[in-house]
Structure formats: structure tokens, C-alpha cells
Structure 1
Amino acid sequence: MRGTLTTIAILAAAALAYPLSCAVRPYRDCWVCKGSGHHRATGNRKLSRPCRWCRATGKRLRLGRRAWNRARRIHRDAT
């Protein structure tokens, strides 16, 4: 019983902490270019091209922030 309550408390804290962290830091480093904005060609260290996943910015919206923006857009369009 005690372990179950602890698990529920930890999950509740995580459920509250993730949206808060998405509000504070909505962007994360791109997983393809690792934040540089350029994707290196395989086998050649000197060749690089702009990263198409982050559009050469090096940053991408986090999943939670993307969901929040979509929910706000749906709400705004409905009212």
C-alpha cells in the first residue's frame, strides 16, 4: 500500500513538472544535428548541409509544447 502511494505521488509530480518545464524551456536541441544546425555527411567530416529537421536553427519544439500549442489553436478557432 505504501509503495503504491509513493508511486502515485511520483507520477503526479512528474505529470505536473513536465508541462511546467515545457512552458519554461519550450525548445530543445535537434536530435539530428545535436544543436549545430548542420547535418554532417556520413564518412566525410568536412561536408555538411543545413539540417532539414530543425531548418538549420538547431532547436526543435518539445512534444509537450507542441501539444499545448495545438490545444490552444483548437480552442482559439472554436471560440
Structure 2
Amino acid sequence: MQATLTAIAIGTLAALGYAVSCAVWPFARCWVCDGKAHHTPKGNTRISRPCRWCKATGRRLRLGRRVWNRIRVAHHNGTR
């Protein structure tokens, strides 16, 4: 019983910590271009293209923030 409560408490704290970090830092470095806003296709080092995943910003919206935005918009629109 004690181990279960401890596991629940640790999981809750981890979820709250992630939620706070998504609120404070909503953007993360793009995983495709590594934050450089351009990437080179595999096997070719001469061609550099704007990253389509981050739209050449080098930043992407984190998953937790994306979920929060969807919940907020749904609440604003009055849908579930």
C-alpha cells in the first residue's frame, strides 16, 4: 500500500513538473534541423533546405503545450 501511494505521488509530481516546464518554456529545439532552421538531406552535404517541420524557425511547440492549447481552445469554444 505504501509503495503504491509513493508511486502515485512521484507520478503526479512528475506530471506537474512537466506541465510547469511546458508553461514556462513552450518551445523546444527542432529535432529535424537541431535548431538551425535548415537541414541537409541524407547523404548530401552541399544542399541545405529550410526545415519544413519547424517552418525554418528552429523551434517547435512541445507536446504538452500543444495539448494544453487544444484543451484551452475547446474550452473557449464550449466543446468537449
Helix, strand or coil: the match of 1:3? helix
Let me know the Cα RMSD of the aligned residues: 1.5
Deviation at 1:78, TM superposition (A): 1.9
CA deviation string 1:1-53 (max 9, x = no partner): 33323212210101111110000000011111111111112222221100001
Aligned residue runs from structure 1 range 24-63, under 5 A? 24-63=24-63
- One-letter identity of the residue aligned with 1:38: H
User: Structure 2: how far apart are the matches of 1:42 and 1:12?
Assistant: 41
Q: Across the two proteins, how many residue pairs are aligned to each other?
A: 79
* Structure 1 position 21 matched with structure 2 position 21: yes
Unaligned runs of 5+ in 2: none
TM-score by length of 2: 0.88
Q: Percent identity?
A: 61
User: Structure 2: how far apart are the matches of 1:44 and 1:12?
Assistant: 45
User: Structure 2: how far apart are the matches of 1:42 and 1:8?
Assistant: 43
Structure 1 segments of 4 or more deviating over 6 A? none
User: Structure 1: how far apart are the matches of 2:70 and 2:2?
Assistant: 38
